[in-house]
């Protein structure tokens, strides 16, 4: 959990964003639910939070409360779980070379099956689509001829 000393805007003169104001208001509501603020204090601080123009104006609203919200921009980066997952998968592949081969050949087989399916659909539906288009064009041509004579 971040300490109270952590919530110090790097440049307090920077204009506060709507997201930062909302984060402070949400934090204040949570602390009120914990019993750290009264309803009157909450109302007063929420009003000041929405009226705040800079980050420096938000700081006094949360300074006396434990675990103030940290601006996402200055928050410590999250742990790279994606890299860990790839690393574990790589270790498993080295430990079980048969598993790696199975995964690779499964991907190849699925790709070939997809290409075959597309080819079969193109061969079977292609002529059908062409026949439907020819029929539609013939009907339109016929309707135009009949419309010129006065038949409908």
| pTM given for the model | 0.42
Asked whether the predicted pLDDT for residue 3 surpasses 70, the reply is no
* pLDDT score for 9: 53
Q: What is the pLDDT of residue 124?
A: 85
75 has pLDDT over 60:
no
Q: In this predicted structure, what is the pLDDT of residue 51?
A: 94
Highest mean pLDDT among 5-14, 61-70, 141-150: 61-70
Mean pLDDT of the chain: 79
* CA–CA separation, 34 and 108 (whole Å): 56
**pLDDT at residue 122, as a whole number:** 85
**Predicted confidence band of residue 1 (pLDDT cuts 50, 70, 90):** very low
What's residue 40's pLDDT? 93
pLDDT of 108 higher than 50: yes
Reported as half-sphere exposure (CB side, CA atoms, 13 A), residue 46 has a value of: 16
Asked whether residue 91 carries a pLDDT value surpassing 80, the answer given is: no
H or E stretch at 61: helix 55-62
- What mean pLDDT is predicted for residues 82-94? 72
Q: For residues 146 and 152, is the Cβ–Cβ distance under 8 A? A: yes
CB of 7 closer than 8 Å to CB of 59: yes
């Amino acid at each position: 959990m971040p300490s109270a000393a952590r919530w110090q805007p790097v440049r307090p003169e920077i204009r506060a964003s709507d997201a930062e104001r909302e984060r402070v208001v949400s934090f204040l509501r949570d602390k009120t639910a914990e019993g750290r603020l009264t309803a009157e204090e909450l109302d007063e601080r929420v009003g000041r939070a929405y009226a705040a123009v800079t980050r420096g104006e938000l700081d006094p609203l949360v300074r006396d409360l434990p675990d103030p919200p940290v601006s996402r921009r200055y928050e410590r980066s999250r742990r790279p779980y994606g890299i860990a997952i790839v690393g574990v998968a790589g270790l498993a592949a080295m430990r079980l070379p048969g598993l790696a081969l199975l995964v690779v050949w499964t991907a190849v087989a699925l790709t070939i099956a997809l290409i075959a399916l597309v080819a079969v659909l193109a061969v079977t539906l292609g002529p059908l689509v062409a026949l439907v288009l020819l029929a539609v064009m013939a009907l339109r041509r016929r309707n135009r001829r009949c419309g010129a004579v006065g038949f409908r």
